[in-house]
Structure 1
Amino acid sequence: MYAPRIQDLLDREEKVFRIDATTVGVSHRDLISEVVAARPVLSTERSVYKPAAGAEIPHDSATRTIRALGQDVMAGIRTPPPPARGLNGPWPYAATSYLRQWLFASDPLPVSLLSKRGITRSPALSRIVDRAVTVWPDPGADGHGRTALAEQIRSASDAQERGQAIAMYRRATATLCDGVAALTGNALWLMGPAGREQLTGPAGRERGAGPAGRERGAARADLTAVLWETLRLLPPAWMLYRTGGDAYTGLHPEIRREDNVALFPLLMHRHPDYWSEPMSFRPERWAGVPDPEKTPAYMPFGFDGARCWAKHLVVPLAERLLSVALDNRLTIRTPKHPKHPKQETNVPLRSLLSVRFNAVSGA
């Protein structure tokens, strides 16, 4: 059950349309490419690398953040996951908290508070935590017990660099964990009870003890395809926003100089001009596709020059989280509509497209 404004978009048949007096929506494959290619993405249009501590984020600092986050994610997914009971409760929030515990729990208390949802939603608490991190004592020169992202805060050379490192820690951890939680939750929902049941069972059988185990093992290998198909039907990054200007004038008669442009992968991914059976959840459509991102009319992480900075981490981490959920027989609990036998859930209007449901682990 989509929020009314999202449902209104889904009901539109045209690929270029006016949303309001200063915004034009676009889901036309070629025009989206032209808009993205018209100019480089602005720093203010990026969620992570927008200015912080009164200055632009330097390119080398952004690169260090990506590398540090990659180190932390790869180190985290090689460690045993936290107890599955952490996945119980409302999704995607339960999954977000679970990922933060899994990947960043080793950081000292002041640093770990930077990405807590209750903290980030309060400007006053955020300022208090930022101050606490600023005076956070060095826990030791060897860096033991902290992530690579936290080490960037400790090793900052001056107040501005430290302030930017704090902002980057908060943004990077939140963007990654929120995005992966949304993607995994969307995948669990789209798989449905039958799809989830196919991939679950006693641990011995899953490892291949007999024909049933071998079938589950083969199916489990298709989780990546499940995620690529989820990124098509329910992409967390469902809209890209571009500030208007001269670069877009002339690309289409509907776009004026003063118009902002909203690009909608959500609509493009579902259009019958670009996809066969566009409304069907068919992970098998990705079988044998070596590079899904080269598929026409598919932009799960954006286009060249504006791709998600952590796209190489999102799918592997989501696959790992999805495996944990399936291994522990996570069950989705939602009320059923009295007139419809199928489960229903809400998809609210948020920056990340994510279904909402309650879940309980069977482990």
Structure 2
Amino acid sequence: MAPTAARDHSLVYAPKIRDLLDRTEKVFRIDPATVGVADCRLLAEIVAARPVRSDERSVYKPAAGADIPHDSATRTIRALGQDVMAGIRTPPPPARGLAGAWPYASTSYLRRWLFGSDPLPVSLLSRRGVTRSDVLSRIVDRAVTAWPGPGAAGTSTALAELIRGASDPLDRKQAVAMYRRATATLCDGVAALAGNAVWLLRQEQQGGEPDAAPADLTAALWETLRLLPPAWMLWRKGGEAYTALHPEIGPGDDIALFPLLMHRHPDHWSDPMEFRPERWTGVADPEKTPGFMPFGFEGARCWAKHLVVPLAERLLTVAFDNGLVIRGPHRDAPVPLRSLLSVRFDAATAA
């Protein structure tokens, strides 16, 4: 990997992430049962070796003891797209909701913005205070199975209407699980991307506090997806399909694929550790850029990839228009070991 630039020390990565960033190999053993891969060609071969399994997807893993049918997954994607596009077109909630600890404040703000019209108890499915408790989650899930009450038609999101339209108890339980997973995956991912962009833009301005969106916010988000991709690791469970691809991979090895490392490699990027949004100026299709996979490879791409950048851009426009500033930390921000890579900081708004 390219040596860490001076600006990168403003982030304090969790030790295991730091260990990964310090590696020079493109294929390496993480532990006796796991191989890490950051090589662009090998990543593509691994993803193409077999279809992604349902238990390797966070959203479409089995629910209520059964696999999620393909038509149900398709309906979920379409409904979520409708809700996001409708949300982008509607006035946002008061910007004071963006004040506080990021990415938690921005996650709650997005959930309120996009899904706040859903009646109780459906709206509770995406509340952070509920999702963090297994007991509360089970209580809310049971309550939603008895929803809707009389007179509730037409007052909820398209995603919530899939629960209403469920044809049998299993279908309803799976629709509840899909609502919870889809809203969490989208809002958590967009909040992480937006927060990472805010931090990188602040560092780009050498410690200044931006009070307006940059001229090309879309380019800044693509560069954030390169340098601090929220989806920083993809997982494939072991099997014979991978053993012929590399001598390090055995039949029982799980495989961790690291866009975070590939996106920083000098084989594909000039000044790889530098935050340079201008590198995306005039790039018609960023996802066709070699060595870049912010949403996964063809056939296994994120189901909501077409929603993430537009929604993050809309969120950041609201934040900057309302004077969002970082209050702390002033220099070194933590990046904990989580499924989504996200910078932690506290923010305030002028609203």
TM-score (norm 2): 0.94
The equivalent residue for 1:153 is 163
1:181 aligns with 2:191: yes
Cα distance in 2 for partners of 1:186, 1:294 equals 22
Q: The residue matched to 1:329 in structure 2 has which SS?
A: coil
Letter in 1 for 2:202: G
1:260 aligns with 2:254: yes
1:346 aligns with 2:340: no
* Structure 1 residues 121-173: Cα deviation after superposition (integer angstroms, max 9, x where no partner): 211111100111011234437x3210001100011010000000000000000
Cα distance in 1 for partners of 2:208, 2:279 equals 21
Equivalent residue for 1:330, pick from 311, 317, 324: 324
Q: The residue matched to 1:145 in structure 2 has which SS?
A: coil
* Structure 1 residues 38-57: Cα deviation after superposition (integer angstroms, max 9, x where no partner): 00000000000001111110
Closer/same/farther in 2, CA of residues 224 and 335 from structure 1, 3 Å limit: closer
Cα distance in 1 for partners of 2:175, 2:262 equals 36
Runs of 4+ in structure 1 off by over 6 angstroms are 195-199
Q: The residue matched to 2:121 in structure 1 has which SS?
A: helix
Equivalent residue for 1:244, pick from 228, 233, 238: 238
1:1-363 matched pairs, under 5 angstroms: 1-140=12-151, 143-192=153-202, 194=205, 200=211, 219-220=214-215, 222-336=216-330, 343-363=331-351
Closer/same/farther in 2, CA of residues 254 and 261 from structure 1, 3 Å limit: same
Closer/same/farther in 2, CA of residues 349 and 250 from structure 1, 3 Å limit: same
Cα distance in 2 for partners of 1:290, 1:321 equals 23
8 Å Cα contact 2:232/2:340 also seen in 1: yes
8 Å Cα contact 1:92/1:356 also seen in 2: yes
Superposition RMSD in Å: 1.4
* Structure 1 residues 42-85: Cα deviation after superposition (integer angstroms, max 9, x where no partner): 00000000011111100000000000000000001101110011
Q: The residue matched to 1:157 in structure 2 has which SS?
A: coil
1:90 is displaced (CA, Å) by: 0.3
What are the ranges of 5 or more consecutive residues in structure 1 without an aligned counterpart? 202-215, 337-342
Letter in 1 for 2:133: S
Percent of aligned positions that are identical: 75
State the number of aligned residues.
Answer: 339
1:256 is displaced (CA, Å) by: 0.3
Cα distance in 1 for partners of 2:134, 2:114 equals 24
1:200 is displaced (CA, Å) by: 3.3
1:197 is displaced (CA, Å) by: 6.6
Letter in 1 for 2:201: M
